[in-house]
Amino acid sequence: MTAFIDLFSGIGGFALAAYWSGLRFDKHYFSEVDDYAIKLYQKRFPDAIPLGDIKNVDYSKLPKGEYLVTGGFPCQPNSNRVRKRRNKDERDLWSECFRMLCELRPRIAVFENVRGLLTVPGEKLKGEVFNRILSDIHRGGYDAEWQIISANQIGAPHKRERLWIVTYPSCKRLPAFNIFNNTNKKENIESSRDWSKLFSITAGAYKMENWEAHEQILTGTYDGLPEELDAIKGAGNAIVPQCAELIFNLPAFDYWRKINE
């Protein structure tokens, strides 16, 4: 049995990337607490099974199988603006990712967070929070590799640097996690998705051919949609799926491509 669990799923960026990459699963689960994101996720992935709040997930009740788990755990505690509370922030839910690793034992887990996670200070030194995460991964019997990937590296018209962490059991060695290696240089990578569509989006009375000049209409109140259908709220609760797609196209994920062939 193969399964996919999308933790902190938002509107489904990880799931979209997985299916773009040809990964297929017998079971698809997701965990999210935002009502708007849940409705949108279920509309896009009607067969996905909701697990509710990640703090209440009982992994022992899930069927045995080969799991791929993804999770863009909350970034607010690690952002430059609000990270003064460090790991005392109630939104710091990394501990739930660690619990998942220990209880579920997935084949691979992929996590995403802001670049600042690398240097978030602990009680004394910079980088203590990231070191705690790496220590947890090691204590759980997993290895980890990580890399910064930016949206503009795959053709997006914005930077959005993010830290991507791939974890796997210590007993299994994966090929080096390096999207932009010597044989696959940044300038030669083209996303399989068409970013040009962004520039034809109609929002309110504006056509986004010159999106920089009208950036203010992309800030919630002025996006031309009522709050209950706020596209900007949804986009803010998501990863860049094209970045995750690059990761899922690595040979390490072929298991979920070939298993159902």
To the query of whether residue 75 is one of the catalytic residues in this protein, the response is yes
**46-77 residues labelled b (16+ CB within 10 A) or e (exposed):** eebeebeebeebebeebeeeebbbbbbbbbeb
First-to-last alpha carbon distance for the chain, in angstroms, is: 14
CB neighbours (10 Å) of residue 207?
13
Is beta strand 2-7 parallel, antiparallel or unpaired with respect to 27-30? parallel
Percent of the chain that is helix, strand, coil (3-state, to 5): 40, 20, 40
Active-site annotation holder among 75, 97, 102, 171: 75
Q: At what angle do helices 128-139 and 94-104 cross, to 10 degrees?
A: 10
Among 55, 119, 57, 131, smallest CA distance to 93 is for 55
Handedness of CA 149, 150, 155, 156 (dihedral sign): positive
Among 248, 242, 151, 160, smallest CA distance to 193 is for 242
Joined tokens for residue 123 = 């009680």
Name 48's Cβ contacts closer than 8 Å, sequence gap at least 6.
Answer: 6, 15, 28, 29, 30, 41, 42
- Active site (catalytic) residues: 75
